[in-house]
Structure 1
Protein backbone atom coordinates (compact mmCIF):
# COMPACT_ATOMS: atom_id res chain seq x y z
CA UNK A 1 0.00 0.00 0.00
CA UNK A 2 1.43 3.32 -1.01
CA UNK A 3 0.00 5.44 1.80
CA UNK A 4 1.94 6.30 4.90
CA UNK A 5 0.42 5.54 8.32
CA UNK A 6 -0.02 9.31 8.77
CA UNK A 7 -1.89 9.61 5.46
CA UNK A 8 -4.13 6.71 6.42
CA UNK A 9 -4.92 8.34 9.76
CA UNK A 10 -5.62 11.66 8.06
CA UNK A 11 -8.00 10.04 5.58
CA UNK A 12 -9.88 8.20 8.35
CA UNK A 13 -10.17 11.42 10.38
CA UNK A 14 -11.50 13.47 7.46
CA UNK A 15 -14.02 10.77 6.51
CA UNK A 16 -15.22 10.48 10.12
CA UNK A 17 -15.53 14.28 10.43
CA UNK A 18 -17.53 14.62 7.22
CA UNK A 19 -19.47 11.35 7.00
CA UNK A 20 -19.70 10.21 10.62
CA UNK A 21 -17.79 7.88 12.88
CA UNK A 22 -19.59 4.80 11.49
CA UNK A 23 -18.30 5.40 7.95
CA UNK A 24 -15.86 2.81 6.63
CA UNK A 25 -13.21 3.73 4.09
CA UNK A 26 -11.38 1.41 1.70
CA UNK A 27 -8.40 2.13 -0.48
CA UNK A 28 -8.51 0.45 -3.89
CA UNK A 29 -6.86 0.86 -7.26
CA UNK A 30 -3.25 1.57 -8.16
CA UNK A 31 -2.22 2.77 -4.68
CA UNK A 32 -2.40 -0.84 -3.48
CA UNK A 33 0.41 -1.81 -5.85
CA UNK A 34 3.71 -1.25 -4.03
CA UNK A 35 5.66 -1.58 -7.30
CA UNK A 36 3.75 1.19 -9.11
CA UNK A 37 4.54 4.88 -9.02
CA UNK A 38 2.28 7.91 -8.93
CA UNK A 39 -1.42 7.56 -9.50
CA UNK A 40 -4.45 8.97 -7.80
CA UNK A 41 -5.99 7.81 -4.53
CA UNK A 42 -9.19 5.79 -5.00
CA UNK A 43 -11.42 5.52 -1.95
CA UNK A 44 -14.70 3.76 -1.29
CA UNK A 45 -16.63 5.31 1.61
CA UNK A 46 -19.33 3.00 2.91
CA UNK A 47 -22.23 4.42 4.89
CA UNK A 48 -25.07 2.61 6.65
CA UNK A 49 -27.40 5.62 6.51
CA UNK A 50 -28.80 7.40 3.43
CA UNK A 51 -26.84 10.39 2.14
CA UNK A 52 -28.86 13.52 1.42
CA UNK A 53 -26.30 15.24 -0.82
CA UNK A 54 -23.94 12.56 -2.15
CA UNK A 55 -22.26 14.73 -4.80
CA UNK A 56 -21.44 17.40 -2.22
CA UNK A 57 -20.13 14.85 0.29
CA UNK A 58 -17.97 13.13 -2.32
CA UNK A 59 -16.55 16.45 -3.56
CA UNK A 60 -15.87 17.70 -0.02
CA UNK A 61 -14.07 14.50 0.95
CA UNK A 62 -12.04 14.53 -2.24
CA UNK A 63 -10.99 18.17 -1.84
CA UNK A 64 -10.10 17.94 1.84
CA UNK A 65 -8.11 14.74 1.47
CA UNK A 66 -6.37 16.08 -1.64
CA UNK A 67 -5.27 19.21 0.25
CA UNK A 68 -3.75 17.05 2.97
CA UNK A 69 -1.90 15.01 0.34
CA UNK A 70 -0.18 17.95 -1.35
CA UNK A 71 -2.72 18.17 -4.17
CA UNK A 72 -2.69 14.48 -5.12
CA UNK A 73 -5.88 13.62 -7.02
CA UNK A 74 -8.41 11.77 -4.84
CA UNK A 75 -11.46 9.95 -6.22
CA UNK A 76 -14.21 9.14 -3.74
CA UNK A 77 -16.93 6.59 -4.46
CA UNK A 78 -19.82 6.51 -2.00
CA UNK A 79 -21.89 3.50 -1.02
CA UNK A 80 -25.11 4.11 0.92
CA UNK A 81 -28.59 2.53 1.07
CA UNK A 82 -30.14 5.27 -1.07
CA UNK A 83 -27.47 5.26 -3.78
CA UNK A 84 -27.42 3.10 -6.89
CA UNK A 85 -25.10 0.10 -6.74
CA UNK A 86 -22.50 0.15 -9.52
CA UNK A 87 -19.84 -2.37 -10.65
CA UNK A 88 -17.11 -0.13 -9.17
CA UNK A 89 -18.55 -0.86 -5.72
CA UNK A 90 -17.96 -4.59 -6.24
CA UNK A 91 -14.40 -4.01 -7.44
CA UNK A 92 -13.60 -1.74 -4.50
CA UNK A 93 -15.02 -4.20 -1.96
CA UNK A 94 -13.30 -7.19 -3.54
CA UNK A 95 -9.87 -5.61 -4.06
CA UNK A 96 -9.85 -2.79 -1.51
CA UNK A 97 -8.22 -2.61 1.88
CA UNK A 98 -10.00 -1.05 4.85
CA UNK A 99 -8.05 1.86 6.28
Structure 2
Protein backbone atom coordinates (compact mmCIF):
# COMPACT_ATOMS: atom_id res chain seq x y z
CA UNK A 1 0.00 0.00 0.00
CA UNK A 2 2.85 2.40 0.67
CA UNK A 3 6.60 2.36 0.79
CA UNK A 4 7.34 3.90 4.17
CA UNK A 5 8.19 1.91 7.27
CA UNK A 6 5.96 2.10 10.33
CA UNK A 7 8.75 4.03 12.05
CA UNK A 8 8.97 6.53 9.18
CA UNK A 9 5.19 7.05 9.33
CA UNK A 10 5.27 7.61 13.12
CA UNK A 11 8.22 9.96 12.83
CA UNK A 12 6.62 11.91 10.00
CA UNK A 13 3.33 12.33 11.84
CA UNK A 14 4.89 13.29 15.18
CA UNK A 15 7.27 15.77 13.54
CA UNK A 16 4.45 17.49 11.65
CA UNK A 17 2.34 17.52 14.84
CA UNK A 18 5.17 19.26 16.69
CA UNK A 19 5.87 21.84 13.98
CA UNK A 20 2.27 22.78 13.20
CA UNK A 21 0.62 22.48 16.60
CA UNK A 22 -2.84 22.57 14.98
CA UNK A 23 -5.21 19.84 13.72
CA UNK A 24 -4.20 18.60 10.28
CA UNK A 25 -4.18 15.66 7.87
CA UNK A 26 -1.11 14.25 6.15
CA UNK A 27 -1.22 12.45 2.83
CA UNK A 28 1.56 10.39 1.23
CA UNK A 29 1.28 10.42 -2.55
CA UNK A 30 3.46 9.97 -5.62
CA UNK A 31 5.81 7.05 -6.15
CA UNK A 32 6.04 6.14 -2.45
CA UNK A 33 2.28 5.49 -2.43
CA UNK A 34 2.73 2.72 -5.03
CA UNK A 35 4.32 -0.56 -3.94
CA UNK A 36 5.07 -1.48 -7.57
CA UNK A 37 7.46 1.44 -8.04
CA UNK A 38 11.03 1.72 -6.78
CA UNK A 39 12.97 4.62 -5.36
CA UNK A 40 11.49 8.06 -5.46
CA UNK A 41 11.19 11.00 -3.16
CA UNK A 42 8.70 11.33 -0.32
CA UNK A 43 5.75 13.44 -1.48
CA UNK A 44 3.58 14.78 1.34
CA UNK A 45 0.51 16.96 1.41
CA UNK A 46 -0.31 18.61 4.72
CA UNK A 47 -3.85 19.94 4.97
CA UNK A 48 -5.30 22.08 7.74
CA UNK A 49 -8.11 24.56 8.31
CA UNK A 50 -5.70 26.77 10.26
CA UNK A 51 -4.43 29.89 8.52
CA UNK A 52 -0.71 30.65 8.57
CA UNK A 53 0.36 34.25 8.00
CA UNK A 54 3.54 33.00 6.29
CA UNK A 55 3.04 29.66 4.53
CA UNK A 56 6.58 29.72 3.08
CA UNK A 57 8.05 29.89 6.58
CA UNK A 58 5.89 26.97 7.76
CA UNK A 59 6.93 24.91 4.72
CA UNK A 60 10.60 25.61 5.47
CA UNK A 61 10.10 24.61 9.11
CA UNK A 62 8.34 21.39 8.07
CA UNK A 63 11.03 20.53 5.53
CA UNK A 64 13.87 21.18 7.97
CA UNK A 65 12.27 19.26 10.83
CA UNK A 66 11.42 16.29 8.61
CA UNK A 67 14.93 16.23 7.13
CA UNK A 68 16.40 16.16 10.64
CA UNK A 69 13.96 13.44 11.75
CA UNK A 70 14.07 11.20 8.66
CA UNK A 71 17.60 11.84 7.50
CA UNK A 72 18.82 13.15 4.17
CA UNK A 73 16.19 12.14 1.64
CA UNK A 74 14.36 14.00 -1.07
CA UNK A 75 11.15 15.48 0.34
CA UNK A 76 8.44 17.36 -1.49
CA UNK A 77 5.83 18.97 0.73
CA UNK A 78 2.71 20.84 -0.30
CA UNK A 79 0.74 22.74 2.31
CA UNK A 80 -2.94 23.58 2.06
CA UNK A 81 -4.00 25.87 4.86
CA UNK A 82 -7.37 27.51 5.38
CA UNK A 83 -6.54 30.29 2.94
CA UNK A 84 -5.07 28.21 0.11
CA UNK A 85 -7.19 27.80 -3.00
CA UNK A 86 -7.94 24.28 -4.15
CA UNK A 87 -5.65 23.15 -6.96
CA UNK A 88 -5.07 19.98 -8.99
CA UNK A 89 -2.09 18.86 -6.86
CA UNK A 90 -4.30 18.68 -3.76
CA UNK A 91 -6.94 16.69 -5.64
CA UNK A 92 -4.30 14.30 -6.99
CA UNK A 93 -2.79 13.77 -3.53
CA UNK A 94 -6.20 12.91 -2.04
CA UNK A 95 -7.22 10.68 -4.95
CA UNK A 96 -3.99 8.73 -5.40
CA UNK A 97 -2.41 8.92 -1.96
CA UNK A 98 -2.85 7.51 1.50
CA UNK A 99 -3.70 9.45 4.62
CA UNK A 100 -1.07 8.80 7.28
Same fold (TM over 0.5): yes
Q: What SS does the aligned partner of 1:49 have? A: coil
Unmatched segments (≥5 aa) in structure 2 = none
Q: Tell me the TM-score normalised to structure 2 length.
A: 0.90
Q: Tell me the TM-score normalised to structure 1 length.
A: 0.91
The match for 2:55 is 54
* 2:15–2:69 contact (8 Å) kept in structure 1: no
The match for 2:18 is 17
Alpha-carbon offset, residue 51 of structure 1: 1.3
Alpha-carbon offset, residue 68 of structure 1: 2.5
Matched, 1:72 2:73: yes
* 2:22–2:50 contact (8 Å) kept in structure 1: no
Alpha-carbon offset, residue 21 of structure 1: 4.5
Please identify runs of 4+ aligned residues in structure 1 that moved more than 3 A. none
Number of aligned residue pairs: give it.
99
The match for 1:30 is 31
Q: What SS does the aligned partner of 2:43 have? A: strand
Unmatched segments (≥5 aa) in structure 1 = none
Alpha-carbon offset, residue 11 of structure 1: 0.4
